[in-house]
Amino acid sequence: MEKRVVVTGMGAVTPVGLGKDRFWSAVKDGVSGIGEITKFDSSGFDSKIAAEVKGFVPSDFIDRKEARRMDTFTQYAIAGAKMAVEDGMIDMDRIDKNKLGVVLGSGIGGIETLENQFKVIFEKGPSRISPFFIPMMISNMAAGQVSIVFGARGPNETVVTACASGTNAIGDAYRIIQRGDADMVITGGSEAAVTPIAVAGFCSMKALSTRNNDPQGASRPFDSDRDGFVLGEGSGILILEELEHAQKRGARIYAEVAGYGMTADAHHITAPAPGGAGAAAAMERVIADAGISAGDIDYINAHGTSTEYNDKFETEAIKQVFGEHAFRLAVSSTKSVTGHLLGAAGGVEAIAAVMAIYEGFVPPTINYNTPDPECDLNYVPNRGEKRDIDYAISNSLGFGGQNASICFKRFK
């Protein structure tokens, strides 16, 4: 018999605040975390804006010497994991570390380290490359370092599925606990890609918003005047736990994981499949896996990137799956507030979906001013709304046509 899996802790490093509570408060209130890029001189770039993490001090979470040997995405992951463990009131001395897993997602990994070390080899030669270069750069190091911090000797893996990474990681963690391979998994995603080469690459693709004179209004999912996504950074980490294990330690249960679905478009390296066929299939699978009907879903935290094709095709996918119910359920994109955290997006957006259930409140899609006739659902424009939510879905759709949907439900 498959085991039930619940969410018992959450931690976040985001452009709108550190910690689950600050993140959720800003998302509820529609307070944008987007501004001018400060991490480097962006004067020669088409897009000069990003959703940067503010006020993060690595030494608040990690020994100074150790922090210098970690890429920023790993620092964010450790900080998020420590906050999630604290939020979950977990006494690490009282749990079986052999049954404690870590499954994290990252779309790009240590690109900041890679970029810096390229400068070193070109300017100073190969002998000056850091001996920590490789273990700082590789994408699995966030999961590896988190396991070292907590002594987690259970299942450990890193998921790299572009912007679907965080959601796929949560889904994998769910399956690991379901089948009994772990009692508890630290999961979610982490990303730190606000770097010159990453921004230049996305600019070259014409993927980023160039609304440089209005940073806080630049991320506008489903709005007719959207002109691209805004790059963000941070981490979103959840504690998934087997139900009986959580109940035995008296844990606070935020929500239950109800189902997981993933598909591939098999269509194009960056463009979504016409009509959102792959996204629709992922949602159909998550609903079937949860053993419910489409009409049971109350809220969808959409991928909602603020790009032309994503928003249009995700809307079409929702209408295909939900029919007339698509117009009754609430759909919002918290990327309007946080920007797009790439491989970490699924982690922070899962936290938003869980908190929406826990508090009975749907966060808004901000900057929704000019309706698009092709995007005609209830996107909870500009102001959040109180609403009882029994089931919520969080969607993540990545380059390469990789689609992931996770479903949470109110714990009863």
Determine the Cα–Cα distance for residues 72 and 234; give it in Å rounded to an integer: 9
- Catalytic one of 245, 340, 375, 407: 340
Query: What pLDDT, on a 0 to 100 scale, did the predictor assign at position 15?
Result: 98
Task: Provide the token pair at 338.
Answer: 């946080």
Q: At what angle do helices 111-124 and 196-204 cross, to 10 degrees?
A: 110
pLDDT at position 204 over 90: yes
What percent of the chain stands above pLDDT 70? 100
Decide if 362 contacts 385 (C-beta within 8 A): yes
Strands of 113-160 (E only): list them.
156-159
To which H or E segment does residue 245 belong? helix 243-248
Which amino acid is present at 341? L
Q: Is CATH 3.40.47.10 the right assignment for the domain spanning 5-248?
A: yes
Known catalytic residue at 340: yes
Q: Kindly state the average pLDDT of the residues 324-348.
A: 98
- Catalytic one of 203, 245, 303, 407: 303
Q: Is 32 helix (H, G, I), strand (E, B) or coil?
A: coil
pLDDT at position 267 over 90: yes
Identify the CATH class of 260-409.
alpha beta
| pLDDT tens digit sequence for 97-121 | 999 999 999 999 999 999 999 999 9
| pLDDT tens digit sequence for 363-382 | 999 999 999 999 999 999 99
Query: What pLDDT, on a 0 to 100 scale, did the predictor assign at position 74?
Result: 98
Query: What pTM was estimated for this model as a whole?
Result: 0.98
pLDDT at position 1 over 90: no
Contacts of 53 (CB under 8 A, 6+ apart): 13, 14, 15, 18, 76, 233, 234
**249-287 burial, b for 16+ CB within 10 Å, e for fewer?**
eebeebbbbbbbbbbebeeeeeebbeebbbbbbbbbbbb
Query: What pLDDT, on a 0 to 100 scale, did the predictor assign at position 374?
Result: 97
Mean pLDDT score of the chain = 98
pLDDT at position 252 over 90: yes
Determine the Cα–Cα distance for residues 57 and 406; give it in Å rounded to an integer: 31
| pLDDT tens digit sequence for 7-22 | 999 999 999 999 999 9
Known catalytic residue at 325: no
pLDDT at position 356 over 90: yes
At CA 68, angle to CA 67 and CA 70, rounded to 5?
Answer: 65
Residues of the chain with CATH 3.40.47.10: 5-248, 260-409
Contacts of 355 (CB under 8 A, 6+ apart): 10, 20, 24, 254, 361
Q: Among candidates 406, 230, 376, 261, which has minimal Cα distance to 314?
A: 376
Q: Kindly state the average pLDDT of the residues 223-251.
A: 98
What one-character DSSP code corresponds to residue 363?
P
Q: Kindly state the average pLDDT of the residues 169-198.
A: 98
pLDDT at position 71 over 90: yes
Q: Among candidates 171, 199, 170, 183, which has minimal Cα distance to 340?
A: 199
pLDDT at position 283 over 90: yes
- Catalytic one of 163, 203, 375, 407: 163
